[in-house]
């Protein structure tokens, strides 16, 4: 008979386990409401299956005449008590999941600290144990046990004051949710990124890579500054001193332009400038900006200082030096006069100029030095300047209306770009970025106007050369896109030349 009971119990356990597996396998447990509940109570439900099987065995053996009385009592009492306890655990865990993981996390979008969840869970289970003790034993006995436990805890508290201070400090800090892993904190003389914390200490890693472990009781006594909470911004400021001869609006415009395309600087709030003071050296300015990643602060500050130097150099604005300083100035790394003429002579649409006109045009060029990674011009922006690469190399990229890159090419020393914007005033057709420190020679509209005035047929020559280049470029693009479908008939070189000549004449208004 006992063998049959065991076999039947095994079949019941296998059947319930299979049903349990099928429920978790095929039912949709992916919602924000049911998934946390299923994950939290899954183990307890499986344990409930085991206790239900033992309860069935106990009920069967209780009617067996040969079973001992003590065995009958344990087989009937223990599984039922365990089932009751498991039902209470499942109900409590389900309630806590609904409150913490759904009501707060999903509906209110608030993260309840784990220490608060653990405290509430422990308090509920403690009350449940007290209720069970009161129901099973005399209330006087329970009260005596509680008084003894209180006296014991008081003695332990006197012996472990430091540990309890850390414990309560950690509880209060995590309840207030002042920091999370990934935040940057300044605690006293230490500054670093939060790696983690427990009931006793907080661990941060400094920018130098050192790991600092701080007792939580210390955090409750000193000032704690959250420099940049995860996803937040941190304001930083760089000050410069400029000689007094430059208009403040010009200096402030250069300060803002220098920060325009730097990685790690947030466009909103926008950077802002301030005129701080007049002193004996010059005028002190400051530019304030907001960084998105405090961990990259040192690299961002380095990029800001580099960008300021290059932009001030191109704007011919000098930083102020102390009156007692001795400065050795070297000439700007601009190309020599002969090298400038050679660079211009290699440009096809300028080859009709006489040597004297070429020399005059070369004298009107001015050098501009760009740092590696700095944007020289941007696609879609207005521009009336033409660039010749004297030293270094640049990357030219163009994108379509959807932002996809359709063209990318590297220009080396001796090559040029920006001729259509110079001659017709049309917006930039590509974005150009320096791939290393690059020295460019810049030609403006006024310099080109003087060359056109000196050579009446120069406009016709320029339009013929640029029309041939544009026609060749359009044909190459048409061959690439021929597989996409029939394209419109391309313009002839003659019609392109007439159109370009008209636009040049209209732009220079003669």
Q: Please say whether the beta carbons of 378 and 439 come within 8 A.
A: no
Tokens of 57: 């065995």
Q: Please say whether the beta carbons of 320 and 277 come within 8 A.
A: no
pLDDT digits (tens, 9 = 90+) for 111-122: 666 666 777 787
Q: What DSSP string runs through 344-389?
A: HHTSGGGTTS-HHHHHHHHHT-EEEEE-TT-EEE-TT-----EEEE
- The DSSP output letter for 211 is E
Dist. CA 298–CA 289, nearest whole Å: 14
Dist. CA 313–CA 370, nearest whole Å: 9
Instruction: Assign 3-state DSSP to the chain and report helix, strand, coil percentages, each to 5.
Output: 50, 20, 30
Report the pLDDT value the prediction gives residue 424, as an integer from 0 to 100: 83
CA 411 to chain centre: 32
Give the DSSP H/E element, type plus range, for residue 407: strand 405-411
Locus of tokens 């095929």 = 26
Q: What DSSP string runs through 162-231?
A: HHHHHHHHHHHHHHHT---TT-EEEETTEEEEEEEE-SSEEEEE-TTS-EEEEEHHHHTTS-EEEEE-TT
The share of the chain scoring above pLDDT 70, in percent, equals 74
Report the pLDDT value the prediction gives residue 407, as an integer from 0 to 100: 79
Q: Strands of 224-228's sheet, edge to edge?
A: 211-215, 201-205, 190-197, 184-187, 224-228
Each residue's pLDDT, cut to its tens digit, for the chain (510 residues) gives 567 777 777 787 788 788 777 777 776 666 666 777 777 778 888 788 887 877 777 776 666 554 444 555 555 666 777 777 788 888 888 888 888 777 777 776 666 666 667 777 878 877 777 776 666 666 656 566 666 666 666 665 555 555 555 555 555 565 556 677 788 888 888 888 888 776 667 888 988 888 998 877 777 677 888 887 656 788 899 999 999 889 999 999 999 999 988 888 988 889 999 999 987 788 999 999 999 888 888 899 999 999 999 999 998 899 887 654 444 454 444 456 678 888 888 888 787 788 888 888 888 888 899 998 899 998 888 888 889 999 999 999 888 777 778 778 899 998 888 888 888 888 888 899 999 899 999 988 888 888 888 777 788 888 887 787 777 766 766 665 554 445 555 567 788 888 888 887 777 765
Dist. CA 296–CA 226, nearest whole Å: 16
């Amino acid at each position: 008979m006992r063998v049959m009971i065991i076999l039947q119990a095994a079949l019941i356990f296998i059947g319930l386990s299979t049903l349990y597996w099928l429920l978790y396998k095929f039912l949709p447990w992916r919602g924000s409401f049911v998934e946390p509940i299923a994950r939290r109570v899954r183990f307890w439900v499986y344990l409930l299956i085991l206790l239900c099987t033992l309860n069935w065995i106990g009920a069967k053996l209780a009617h067996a005449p040969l079973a001992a009385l003590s065995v009958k009592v344990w087989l009937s009492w223990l599984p039922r008590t365990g089932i009751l306890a498991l039902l209470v655990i499942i109900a409590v865990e389900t309630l806590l999941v609904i409150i913490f993981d759904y009501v707060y996390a999903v509906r209110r979008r608030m993260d309840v600290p784990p220490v608060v969840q653990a405290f509430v869970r422990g308090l509920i289970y403690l009350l449940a144990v007290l209720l069970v003790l009161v129901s099973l034993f005399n209330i006087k006995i329970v009260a005596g046990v509680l008084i003894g436990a209180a006296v014991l805890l008081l003695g332990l508290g006197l012996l472990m004051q430091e540990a309890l201070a850390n414990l309560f400090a950690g509880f209060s800090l995590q309840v207030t949710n002042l920091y999370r892993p990934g935040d940057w904190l300044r605690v006293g003389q230490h500054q670093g990124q939060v790696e983690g914390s427990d009931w006793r200490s907080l661990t941060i890693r400094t920018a130098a890579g050192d790991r600092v472990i701080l007792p939580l009781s210390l955090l409750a006594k000193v000032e704690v500054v959250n420099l940049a909470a995860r996803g937040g911004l941190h304001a930083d400021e760089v000050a410069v001193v400029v000689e007094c001869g430059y208009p403040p609006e010009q200096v402030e415009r250069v300060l803002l332009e220098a920060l325009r395309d730097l990685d790690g600087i947030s466009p909103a709030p926008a950077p802002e400038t301030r005129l701080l003071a007049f002193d004996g050296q010059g005028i002190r300015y400051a530019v304030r900006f907001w960084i998105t990643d405090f961990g990259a602060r040192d690299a961002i500050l380095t990029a800001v200082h580099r960008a300021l130097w290059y932009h001030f150099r191109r704007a011919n604005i000098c930083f102020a030096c102390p009156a007692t300083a001795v400065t050795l100035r070297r000439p700007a790394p601009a190309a020599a006069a002969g090298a400038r003429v050679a660079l211009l002579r290699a440009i096809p649409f300028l080859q009709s100029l006489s040597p004297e006109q070429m020399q005059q045009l070369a004298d009107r060029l001015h050098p501009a030095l760009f740092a590696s990674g700095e944007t020289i011009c941007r696609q879609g922006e207005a521009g009336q300047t033409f660039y010749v690469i004297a030293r270094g190399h640049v990357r030219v990229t163009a994108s379509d209306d959807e932002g996809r890159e359709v063209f990318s090419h590297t220009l080396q020393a001796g090559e040029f770009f920006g001729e259509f914007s110079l001659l017709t005033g049309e917006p930039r057709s590509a974005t150009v970025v320096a791939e290393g420190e690059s020295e460019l020679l810049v030609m403006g509209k006024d310099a080109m106007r003087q060359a056109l005035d000196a050579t009446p047929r120069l406009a016709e020559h320029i339009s013929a050369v640029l029309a041939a280049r544009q026609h060749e470029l359009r044909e190459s693009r048409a061959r690439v896109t021929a597989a996409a479908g029939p394209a419109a008939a391309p313009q002839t070189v003659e019609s392109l030349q007439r159109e370009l000549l008209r636009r040049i004449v209209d732009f220079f208004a003669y």
